[in-house]
Structure 1
Amino acid sequence: MAQRLFEGRDHAAAYLKYRVAPREVVDRITTFMHKKTLKRFNLAVDVGCGSGQMTTLLAPHFSQVIGVDVSAAQLEMALSNKKPANVTYRQCPAEELPFVSGEVDLVTAVAAVHWFDQEKFFQEADRVLRPGGCLAVVSYGIDMELEYGDVSDTLNKICQEYYAALIPARDPNLGVSDANMYLDMFGSCSYPDKEWNNPLCIRRTAPVSGFMGIIESTTYFQELKEKDPTEAERLSSGIKSKLLSAMKASSPDPEVTMVVKYFYWLACKP
């Protein structure tokens, strides 16, 4: 059974505010499609679209892009954000896509498939994809790195302390390793024309609070917050103080470079 998560308005708003929009991944996907398909870029469907960061990035490449998500709160955030005219949203489960068989050119799912009933989702993706259509399955790990002058190593030791403290709150659906789970999905895909990529390091500058916001929007932190809100606040405040101290920050919230490690696989339906 698919998991019902991220349905609170505050959590959905945090997704919209903090999550990194992976335009570099979109470039990789469209390059793959240009090589593998009949160059039909009519309809893309972003499954588990959340607040729509990936959905809107697909818009320049397709005649129509539809983001689907089971969460009304996530879709509310997506609709509150500025979107291109060719982007629309629908509420539905990933396992019951409201599309005619063979009408979709691209199905994407970003940081979402681990919450789906995977067997049913991949059957649905195969059903709605046209022959020559593409499937793009994307995610990233919690193990972001920070770059800041000559104290990057120190900052990353603090980050590792943070991640280790959150591991006990890890949802069982994520398995032991995010990347290994997605590699297993890749191995199970029956399409012969497919490729695995890991890692694709995406760099973004953000204030320290932006980095903290990304981590606090993860299920790791949200699970801890639900179980023990006092401990979650103590942990977050302590880590931020350690980061700022190591940076000898003269401003309350200096900018760092975040390195987000994406992994993804692409496959072309025969």
Structure 2
Amino acid sequence: MKDKFSKDSDNYGKYRPTYPEGLYDYIKSKLNGRSQAWDCATGNGQVAGRLAEIFEKVEATDLSANQIKHAIIKSNIHYSVQVAEKTNFSDHQFNLITVGQALHWFNFDQFFKEVKRVLKPDGVLIAFGYGLNYVNAEVDEIIKHFYFNIIGPYWDDERKHIDDKYQSISFPFDEVQRQNFHLKVAWDINHYLGYLNTWSAVKHYQKKNGKNPVDQIKADLNETWGSMNLEVTFPIFTTCAYG
């Protein structure tokens, strides 16, 4: 797994969207037990924090110690720095394994092998993420140009799995289900710009060119967005696989 988010991990927690309530209702509907869950690639722990309201115990892991340092604290969440593909968990330990906006970074064969080892026979793996957001016609035109043309060459190859909603990933399980949701948030322009600055391709561009590509669209976005909060819609996609 690649570590893309150790740097500026506090901004990742501040500017990235949270997942909608409907996603957690969907997760609960798929469960056959609520003893232990593993939130893999937990980041700032936003998913682990919600799972802690459902499960007796939550194990939350991440490759980045810096991400975990900024994670949500709850008494029944245990954080550890571990790679997704090889953990110290026991065989058949978990009722649920979640991966939010991170599966595309994994070695799929090794991770799915680990999932089958640590997941209970009636357990479930649910991987989810969100693709390119949309706001309105004017903003969307600016962002699509930014996404595909300005920083397009700086996306990692793995980004294609987000763009196709994990459809190209083969889940080696007997039963695989897919479900889509939408998340709507009201953001001002400063929050939206902060979100853009968390994109991995933006960081790659900065590293190579020594300047921030967001600056190229900042004036146009400010003019189009104005001083109001606008509704930003994120398409949420999920893949549910039974152990």
Alignment map for 1:84-233 (pairs within 5 Å): 84-141=74-131, 143-146=132-135, 152-164=136-148, 165-175=150-160, 177-180=161-164, 182-185=166-169, 188-198=170-180, 200-230=181-211, 232=212
Alpha-carbon spacing, 1:229–1:57, altered in 2? closer, same or farther (3 Å): farther
Hey, what does 1:242 align to over in structure 2? 220
Hey, what does 1:7 align to over in structure 2? 6
- Provide the rounded CA distance (Å) in 2 between the counterparts of 1:181 and 1:31: 21
- Provide the rounded CA distance (Å) in 1 between the counterparts of 2:152 and 2:61: 29
Indicate yes or no: 2:30 matched with 1:56.
no
Contact conserved, 1:201 with 1:261, CA < 8 A, in 2?
Answer: yes
Match of 1:31 among 4, 25, 29: 29
- Provide the rounded CA distance (Å) in 2 between the counterparts of 1:173 and 1:161: 20
- Provide the rounded CA distance (Å) in 2 between the counterparts of 1:213 and 1:96: 33
Contact conserved, 1:174 with 1:181, CA < 8 A, in 2?
Answer: no
Give the residue type in structure 2 aligned to 1:77.
H
Give the residue type in structure 2 aligned to 1:243.
L
- Provide the rounded CA distance (Å) in 1 between the counterparts of 2:238 and 2:11: 23
Indicate yes or no: 2:65 matched with 1:68.
no
Hey, what does 1:149 align to over in structure 2? none
Indicate yes or no: 2:17 matched with 1:20.
yes
Q: Which has the higher helix share?
A: 1
The answer for unaligned runs of 5 or more in structure 1 is 147-151
- Provide the rounded CA distance (Å) in 2 between the counterparts of 1:92 and 1:75: 11
Residue 240 of structure 1 and its aligned partner are, at CA, apart by: 2.7
The CA deviation string for residues 150-181 of structure 1, in whole angstroms up to 9 with x for no partner, is xx211211221221221111112323x52437
Give the residue type in structure 2 aligned to 1:28.
Y
- Provide the rounded CA distance (Å) in 2 between the counterparts of 1:170 and 1:196: 25
Provide the secondary structure at the position in 2 that maps to 1:242. helix
- Provide the rounded CA distance (Å) in 1 between the counterparts of 2:162 and 2:63: 22
RMSD over equivalenced CA pairs, Å = 1.7
Residue 111 of structure 1 and its aligned partner are, at CA, apart by: 1.1
Provide the secondary structure at the position in 2 that maps to 1:184. coil
Aligned residues: 241
Contact conserved, 2:37 with 2:58, CA < 8 A, in 1?
Answer: yes
Residue 127 of structure 1 and its aligned partner are, at CA, apart by: 0.5
Moved over 3 A (4+): none
TM-score computed with the length of structure 1 as normaliser:
0.84
- Provide the rounded CA distance (Å) in 2 between the counterparts of 1:129 and 1:98: 13
Contact conserved, 1:179 with 1:263, CA < 8 A, in 2?
Answer: no
Alpha-carbon spacing, 1:55–1:171, altered in 2? closer, same or farther (3 Å): same
- Provide the rounded CA distance (Å) in 2 between the counterparts of 1:27 and 1:240: 37
Provide the secondary structure at the position in 2 that maps to 1:57. helix
Contact conserved, 2:202 with 2:214, CA < 8 A, in 1?
Answer: no
The answer for unaligned runs of 5 or more in structure 2 is none
